[in-house]
């Protein structure tokens, strides 16, 4: 298992957007796009907030019903998959660039209200690689396309 204690979005290559609870990711380096829903989207939200791996697992244990050890192991495996796809990187010098904490929606719920933990899935699509590698002609503003989060990109250095 890789050491990914402080996963961060790889803003140098990745553009992402959350729409109706689904996270859409585009890896501009390999031309693939990805979809994350449910548990996978919850993990991504933590990564965007630069929550350390240990706290991501704790947040999911608080949010879902399931075996703590199994949830932790599953989260670590999913983080490794995101890393292998180039979607995330290790935080600068082993630590996140800004203070971290539990996500705002990570409040503990009563056991009866907690949904069952489901294995997160990374849905990968390669059918548009050639088009994503091209510079498509479409209307854009002065910032161009894609609009990469420059502040986050600077923190990835």
pLDDT digits (tens, 9 = 90+) for 80-102: 999 999 999 988 644 444 434 44
- Per-residue pLDDT of 93-150, as tens digits, reads 444 444 344 444 443 444 458 899 999 999 998 887 777 666 544 445 555 555 555 5
Residues 23-43 pLDDT 10s: 999 998 888 999 999 999 999
Q: What are phi and psi of 45, to 5 degrees?
A: -60, -40
Q: What are phi and psi of 27, to 5 degrees?
A: -95, 105
Q: What percent of the chain shows pLDDT beyond 90?
A: 54
Domain residue spans in the chain?
A: 7-125
């Amino acid at each position: 298992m890789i050491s990914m204690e402080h996963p961060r979005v790889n803003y140098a290559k990745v553009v992402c957007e959350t729409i109706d609870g689904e996270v859409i990711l585009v890896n501009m380096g390999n031309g693939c796009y990805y979809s994350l829903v449910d548990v996978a989207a919850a993990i991504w939200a933590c990564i965007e907030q630069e929550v350390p791996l240990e706290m991501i697992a704790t947040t999911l244990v608080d949010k879902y019903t399931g075996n703590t050890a199994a949830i932790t192991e599953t989260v670590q495996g999913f983080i490794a998959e995101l890393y292998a796809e180039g979607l995330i990187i290790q935080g600068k010098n082993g630590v996140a660039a800004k203070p971290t904490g539990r996500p705002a929606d990570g409040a503990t719920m009563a056991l009866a209200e907690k949904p069952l933990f489901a294995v997160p899935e990374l849905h990968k699509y390669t059918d548009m690689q050639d088009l994503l590698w091209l510079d498509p002609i479409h209307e854009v503003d002065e910032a161009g396309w894609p609009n990469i989060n420059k502040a986050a990109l600077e923190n990835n250095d």
